[in-house]
Each structure stands twice: as C-alpha cells, then as structure tokens.
Chains A and B, each alone.
Chain A
Amino acid sequence: MKMVAKRVLFYSEKGSNIRNKFIIRIGFPYLVDEDRVDFTVGDEDLFGCHIETEGLKDEYQHEVYGVDEVQAINIASDIEPFLIRLQKKYDLYWQSGEPYFED
C-alpha cells in the first residue's frame, strides 16, 4: 500500500504491563471503482482511503470515502473513533509512554 501517513503507538492488554508497538497507516487516496464496493457511487467520482494497522492481535482494515482526495484523507486521518473502540480492549500509549487518552 502506498502510504500517505502513519501513527506509531503502543498498547498493552488490560491488566498487563507489557507494551507492544503498533502502527496505524493511511493509504494514498484512490478513485473508487463502483464494482468493488457494496453501495451506489453515482455519476460523480468518489475517492477512497485505506486504513490498516500492523502489530495488533486483531489487525484492522477499513476503507473510508470522500467526494475528493481531501475529504477521503480528512476522514481517514480522524482515527480517534477507531482508537476509542480499541481502548475498550487495550490500554493505549504514545511512544513517549504517556497514556493516549487522558481519562
């Protein structure tokens, strides 16, 4: 995957002190082919961005979409909702060791 951005964080299992590195990568925006998605694209172009993780036990892959490359990247770069979900399973940390979320 041609990457446009990434974030490197650490996670630990709840109740564990062992921290493991994982990476969230955002792919380069691409023109969506209607035959490869399960929804109607319409007459106008639609752009997608692939998001994936590396280092987690359950690797995550997701596609987001936008009317243009900017919106696709905009949505893809908002990784907080994904990390909030992840926080239910793991404790997350910045590379500096600080907790990712304040609370």
Chain B
Amino acid sequence: MQSDPIGLEGGLNTYGYVFSNPLKYSDPTGKNAVSGAIIGSTFGPAGTVIGAGIGLIGGYLAGEAVREMLNESFDDDNVTPLPGAKPPPEQCDNEEKDKGCEALRSSMLSSCASLKGKARMKCIFSAEDAYNQCMNEK
C-alpha cells in the first residue's frame, strides 16, 4: 500500500487517487495506484523489495494521475478492484458509490484550497466534472 509520495502536494488525502480506499483499488496500468506492498507481502522478503520498488514508482505515477485529474477530467477506467476483492453487498452498492463519488469530490476540493485565482477555479470545475463522471458511470 503506497501513500502518494508527492505528499500533500497532490491533496490532503494522499490516498485520493484510489478513492481513499487503497486496500480495495489498485492501478495495474500505473495511472492511478500500484499494489506494490501487496506483492511484497504475498511473495516474501524478495517480493517485499520488488513490491516496494513497484510501489514507489506506482505511487509517483499515481501522483501524476492526480495532477492529470485536476487539469483534465476524471477517468476511473484505470481503477480496478484487486484480484480477490469482494464486491460490496448489492443493496448498499449505490449508496456506497454515491459516498465514494462525494469523497472523491471532497478530496479534490480540498486540493483546490491551496490554489488561487484561475487555477482554483479550474480545479473546482475539475472536481465537479470528476464527481459527475463518477456518478454517471454507475
């Protein structure tokens, strides 16, 4: 599990790039998050080193993805559940997804707080776009 190595520069929530749920989501393409730590814990000491390396690179790329989200639009096609992750119960699915989309927006809005002027305005537009895409992809 890798927090965003760019720290708070990418937002107060350093797990925002995985919808604040690093245990459930990963990013096999490297655009969002990488489950390096999980690889490490699965394959022992050697795997830990490899996993940590992958996690470091993946975390950096994830930070870039957050920047991309703020500048362009949100694309959660790259976020896939980890193998073996259990889906949430059907009846709570929509409510949980609503909360997930709202958490995503809040995380992005928090990131906007440190910006000023036009950059802040664009950031808020991006947060709202990300929220709408998230909600409409349900």
Contact = CB atoms under 8 A, between A and B. Distances in A.
Interface string A36-69: 0111111110000000000000000000111100
- Main DSSP-derived SS at the B contact region: helix
B132 A81 contact: yes
A44 B117 CA distance: 9
Contact of B128 (A41, A75, A84, A85): A75
Contacts of B109: 39-40, 65
Contacts of A64: 128
B135 A39 contact: no
B interface residue count range (under 10 / 10 to 19 / 20 to 34 / 35 or more): 20 to 34
Interface in B116-130: 116-117, 120-121, 124-125, 128
B114 A42 contact: yes
A43 B120 CA distance: 12
A66 B121 contact: yes
B113 A67 contact: no
B110 interface: yes
Contact of B110 (A39, A43, A44, A85): A39
B107 interface: yes
3 shortest A-B CB distances, which residue pairs? A42-B113, A81-B132, A39-B106
Interface of B: 12, 105-107, 109-110, 112-114, 116-117, 120-121, 124-125, 128, 132, 135-136, 138
